[in-house]
């Protein structure tokens, strides 16, 4: 199987493309043994996005490999795009692995992401699979940043959930949010367990935003294709994180499977059960409780 054989284009809203790959039963891209590309991205399902307007596009994250990034750039060019800017949601490998393909474009990142990429450059070059070179952003900002694609306004907003350097992409006219990994379905991946209290407070802040639809990088492809998630996605993620913190404090839920732990949110439809996230949930519990 070629590395992009299962990559597909979803169109969740006008002028928004989701380049989705993964969640294919029995399929792996890189190797049978554990590696970040397969086990932290492809098996869970992963998307990067493009906002289009005429011949201009903003690409939100560069996907999990150079081949994926080349495919995305080729598809945008096929659709008539001649000018591309890239926005990085955060520094994790599955979001920046294809950045070399866009090295001749403006690459925009928050200052915390830029710093993290410098710090991670050597380890990323030795990862499995390696990311080498790690292409650094050309435009670095602090706080919020406004830009536009044609007549489409975009707001880049810091969001300290999942990763300390998160940058969400918000479209104020349509009220659509691209949160990067700040929201993830089936459940959030706890990458910074010592900062969960901060993430919880940030989820409270996020809940005050005026949002009509949410398009995550990791989620159910049918829900993304159908227009995305509603605001209950935020509430369920907040409640999941709060419940994890209660496990840290001795609550007796740490022996539950994901299906049991998050049963109420699956039943109400705010989250979607996907069995590959059982392992993510167990990792979350271990990182939070230390057991």
**pLDDT for residue 290:** 84
**pLDDT for residue 2:** 60
pTM of the model: 0.96
Set out the domains of the chain in order of their start, with CATH numbers: 8-289 (3.60.15.10)
Could you report the average pLDDT of every consecutive run of 10 residues in the chain (291 residues)? 86 98 95 96 98 97 98 98 98 98 98 98 97 97 97 97 98 98 97 96 98 98 98 98 91 89 97 97 94 65
Q: Single out the residue of 123, 253, 121, 247 nearest to residue 196, CA to CA.
A: 247
């Amino acid at each position: 199987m070629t590395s992009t054989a299962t990559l597909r284009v979803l169109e969740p809203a006008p002028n928004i493309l989701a380049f989705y790959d993964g969640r294919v039963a029995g399929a792996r891209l890189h190797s049978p043994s554990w590696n970040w590309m397969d086990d932290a991205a492809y098996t869970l399902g992963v998307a990067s996005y493009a906002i289009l307007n005429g011949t201009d596009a903003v690409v939100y994250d560069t996907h999990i490999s150079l081949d994926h990034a080349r495919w995305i750039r080729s598809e945008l060019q096929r659709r008539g795009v001649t000018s591309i800017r890239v926005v990085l949601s955060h520094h994790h490998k599955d979001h920046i692995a294809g950045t070399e393909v866009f090295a001749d474009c403006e690459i925009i990142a928050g200052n915390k992401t830029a710093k993290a990429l410098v710090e991670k450059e050597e380890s990323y070059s030795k990862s499995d699979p390696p990311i080498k070179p790690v292409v650094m952003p050309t435009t670095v900002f602090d706080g919020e940043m406004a830009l536009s694609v044609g007549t489409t306004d975009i707001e880049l907003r810091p969001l300290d959930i999942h990763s300390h350097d998160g940058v969400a992409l918000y479209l104020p006219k349509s009220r659509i949010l691209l949160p990067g990994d700040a929201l993830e379905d089936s459940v959030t991946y706890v990458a910074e367990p010592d900062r969960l209290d901060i993430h919880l407070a940030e989820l409270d802040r996020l809940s005050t935003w005026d949002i009509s639809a949410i398009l995550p990088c990791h989620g159910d492809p049918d829900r993304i294709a159908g227009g995305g998630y509603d605001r209950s996605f935020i509430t369920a993620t907040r409640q999941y994180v709060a419940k994890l913190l209660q496990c840290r404090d001795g609550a007796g839920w740490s022996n539950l499977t994901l299906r049991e732990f998050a049963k109420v949110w699956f039943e109400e439809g705010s989250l979607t059960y996907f069995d590959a996230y059982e392992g993510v949930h167990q990792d979350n519990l271990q990182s939070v409780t230390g057991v």
